[in-house]
Amino acid sequence: MSLFDWFAARRKDQFVGKVIQETEESDGLWGKCPECGQVVYRKDLIKNANVCSNCGHHNRINSDERIELIVDSKSFQALDKDLTPVDPLGFKDRRAYADRLRESQASTGMKDGVLTGMCKVEGIPMALAVMDFRFMGGSMGSVVGEKITRLIEKATEKKYPLLIVCASGGARMQEGMLSLMQMAKISGALERHREAELLYMPLLTHPTTGGVTASFAMLGDLILAEPKALIGFAGRRVIEQTLREKLPDNFQTAEYLLDHGFVDKIVPRTELRKTLGILLRLHGSNELN
């Protein structure tokens, strides 16, 4: 084979391989794990709670999928569904905040970045809030803070345990000080819940950062996390520049925080409902008939 023929054959193989790969990824039936590169059948991935069966990588899921995995079938009753954010500061950076809100609402079908409600887990009543990273990075604005606060107050009134699934880049900068105030408001409601001797568990998913980590994400009686979730306040580069030290490779992962006492238990998504049922019963929660 001449050198010309060898290059021609090689280019043909690369082209054919590329077409096959693009076809597999675009037909919606197959996907590739971003962690290990394993090609997976999407229906099998969904059946396994969107966790790679080869390496255990937890793919990001939305709030509706999360609720379906956690609660007993058809037991979730949403609260404050129509609470809608406004643009109190008339904020504009590269784009107007009002436009960003409309775009996120259209793409997610949500009013804002959290769903709240009452549910049952293995027959046990529980208050549940699930943040959704699709909505402006799960950022915590006034509506997110208000919905979570109202849920906590409802849980305290009904004497229900509480689970908040955290997924957030932090406070929503487009609402300025109003978003930072949510940290204190939610923390105050959690203190009243604690004084009533009720159980609160945050579940830290990828990513949980900024003002959410600095407030209610770290105030739990039991702090749970998903495997390899990014959890922290400031970014890695900011910390390294401030300390002038090189941080460990696994810094700000769920595993690192578990080793250093910031997280109580890492729970794979496929075991979450069963684990929650055990913890709720251990802390005195009873099933409803």
Domain holding 244: CATH number? 3.90.226.10
Q: What is the mean pLDDT of residues 142-167?
A: 98
Q: pLDDT-derived band of residue 284, with 50, 70 and 90 as boundaries?
A: confident
Residue 11 lies in a domain: no
Q: State the Cα–Cα distance between residues 69 and 245, nearest whole angstrom.
A: 40
CA dihedral 163, 166, 172, 178 (to 10 degrees): 20
Residue 162 lies in a domain: yes
DSSP β-ladder status, 114-121 and 124-131? antiparallel
DSSP β-ladder status, 265-266 and 224-225? parallel
Q: pLDDT-derived band of residue 285, with 50, 70 and 90 as boundaries?
A: confident
Residue 128 lies in a domain: yes
Q: What is the mean pLDDT of residues 260-283?
A: 97
Q: pLDDT-derived band of residue 150, with 50, 70 and 90 as boundaries?
A: very high
* Residue of 209, 227, 215 whose CA lies nearest to 191: 215
Residue 164 lies in a domain: yes
Residue 270 lies in a domain: yes
pTM: 0.88
Q: State the Cα–Cα distance between residues 143 and 149, nearest whole angstrom.
A: 10
Q: State the Cα–Cα distance between residues 36 and 54, nearest whole angstrom.
A: 8
Kindly provide the residue ranges of all beta strands, DSSP E only, lying in 111-241, ordered along the sequence. 114-121, 124-131, 162-168, 200-208, 224-225
Q: Which pLDDT belongs to residue 27?
A: 53
Residue 65 lies in a domain: yes
In Å, how far from its chain's centre is CA 93? Answer: 26
CA dihedral 117, 123, 124, 128 (to 10 degrees): -20
pLDDT(4) > 70:
no
Residue 14 lies in a domain: no
Number of domains the chain is built from: 1
Q: Which domain holds residue 212?
A: 60-282
Q: What is the mean pLDDT of residues 116-133?
A: 98
Q: pLDDT-derived band of residue 134, with 50, 70 and 90 as boundaries?
A: very high
SS3 167: strand
CB atoms within 10 A of CB 20: 10
Share of the chain above pLDDT 90, in %: 87
Residue 97 lies in a domain: yes
pLDDT(219) > 60:
yes
